[in-house]
Chain A
Amino acid sequence: MKLDIILRVLAKLLIPFAVMFASYVQFHGDFGPGGGFQAGVIIAAAVIFYALIYGLPSARQVVPDALVEAMIAVGVLLYAGVGIAGLLLGGNYLDYFVLAHDPVHGQHRGIFWVEAGVAITVSAVMLKIFYVFAGRRRDASEEAS
C-alpha cells in the first residue's frame, strides 16, 4: 500500500482538510457542536491516516514518540494549570470568572485553555495507542500496513 500513488496523492489532499476541520471543531466549539475531545480525536485520525498510507516510520518522523508522550501529560497539566491560575488570581479552583477583568471574557479564556488541554491529551493518547499497537510486530515481521 505504501507505493500506491493514488492513495498517496489522495492522502496528501485530504489530510490538510482533516487538520483544518479539527481546528474548526476545536475553536468553533463555543458556537457549534464540537470541542476539545472531538477535535483531538480528529487530529489523531488525520495522523493515523497518514501512518496507514505512508507507513508507520514516516508518521513517527512527523510526530515523534517523545512529543506524543509529552503531550499526554501537557494536556492534563494545562487543564489543571487553568484551575491553579484561578486560585492564584483569587478565585476558586477552576473558577474562570477571575481570569480576566470582564467575567464573561474570563469564562471565554478559561474555556479556551481547558478545551485546548483536553484536545492535546486526547489526541496524544489516541495516537500513542495506535503507535504501540501498530509498532508491536514490527520486529517480527516487516512492513505490515
Chain B
Amino acid sequence: MGAAAIGIARQRNLFGVVLLSGIYSFLMATLLVVLDAVDVAMTEAAVGAGISTVLLLGAIHLAGGTESKPIHKPWLPLFVVVVTGGMLVYGTLGLPAFSDPQAPIHQHVAPSYLAEGPVKTGVPNVVTAVLASYRGFDTLGETTVVFTAGIGVIALLRRRKPREKFGSKDGEGGK
C-alpha cells in the first residue's frame, strides 16, 4: 500500500494514478477483511475500487490525461503532512492496544449492543443492527448526505435542454 501511495504521488500520467488508486483500494479492502470488518471492506472494494475508478476514468476522458507541472515547490505541503502525520502517530501511542477488551470504547455501549442487539432487534448481524436501528438517525443523515451530493452534481453538471420556445442554443454549460 505504501508503494501504491508513493506511486500515486510521483506519477504524472493520470491513467496510471487511477489504476494505482484502484489497487490501493483493493489492498485496503483486504486489510479490512483481515481486521474482520467485512462490511466496510465490501464498501471499500465496491466504491473505492469499482465506481470511483470508473468515475475518475470518465473525468480523465473529459479533462485530459496528464497532470500539469506543479507551480509551487512541494516542501511546505510536505512539511505540513509530515508534522500532521507525526502528531497523529504520537497520538496513537496513547491509545489502548489494538483489540484490548479493557479499552474504554468497549466498556460503554458496545457490550449492551452485543448482548442485547440480536435479542431486541432479531438481527444477527450486529453491524446492521447498530447501523439501521440503534444509530438510525446517523444513517438517515448519511443518506441525506448522499442525496445532497447527488443533487449537487445534478445542479452543476446536468446539461440543460435547449429552450425550444426561444430557439436559443445554450444546450451545454461548459465547453
Binding site for B on A (CB under 8 A): 25, 29-35, 37-38, 41-42, 44-45, 48, 52, 69, 72-73, 75-76, 79-80, 83, 94, 96, 103-105, 107-108, 110-111, 114-115, 117-118, 121-122, 124-126, 128-130, 132-137, 139-140, 144
Assess the A35–B46 pair: CB atoms within 8 A.
no
Q: Is the Cβ of B123 less than 8 Å from the Cβ of A111?
A: yes
| Chain A residues, CB < 8 A from B140 | 79-80, 83, 94
Across-interface contacts of B54 in A (CB, < 8 A): 48, 52, 130
Give the docked Cα–Cα distance between A140 and B121 (Å): 54
Identify whether the interface residues of B are mostly helix, strand, loop, or mixed. helix
Q: A38: which B residues are within 8 A, CB to CB?
A: 39, 42-43, 46
Q: Are B62 and A108 in contact (CB under 8 A)?
A: no
User: B50 and A133: CB pair below 8 A?
Assistant: no
The answer, yes or no, to whether B13 is at the interface (CB within 8 Å) is no
1/0 per residue, CB under 8 A from A, across B96-131: the answer is 000000000000000000000000111111011101
B46 touches A134 (CB 8 A): no
Interfacial chain B residues near A31, Cβ < 8 Å: 123-125
Give CA–CA (A95, B67) in the complex, Å: 50
Count of CB-CB pairs between chains A and B under 8 Å = 142
The B123-172 residues at the A interface (CB cut-off 8 A) are 123-125, 127-129, 131-133, 136-137, 139-140, 143-144, 146-147, 149-151, 153-154, 157-159, 171-172
- List B residues at the A interface (Cβ < 8 Å): 38-39, 41-43, 46-47, 50-51, 54-55, 58-59, 61-62, 120-125, 127-129, 131-133, 136-137, 139-140, 143-144, 146-147, 149-151, 153-154, 157-159, 171-172, 174-175
A32 to chain B, nearest CB (A): 6
Residues of B within 8 A of A137 (CB): 61-62
Do A133 and B62 touch across chains, with their CB atoms under 8 A apart?
yes
**Chain B nearest Cβ from A45, distance in angstroms:** 5
Q: Do B122 and A105 touch across chains, with their CB atoms under 8 A apart? A: yes
Pairwise interchain contact B139-A114, C-beta atoms closer than 8 A:
yes
Residue contact A73 to B39, C-beta cutoff 8 Å: no
A30 near B55 with CB under 8 A, answer no
Q: Is the CB of B132 within 8 A of A45?
A: no
A126: nearest chain-B partner, CB-CB: B51
**Contact yes or no, A96 B133, CB < 8 A:** yes
Q: Given A79-B140, A134-B58, verify A33-B132 contact (CB < 8 Å).
A: no
Closest residue of chain B to A22, judged by CB? B46
Query: In the complex the two chains form, what is the Cα distance from A134 to B61 in whole Å?
Result: 9
A48 to B53, CA, bound (A): 12
**A124–B143 CB distance below 8 A:** no
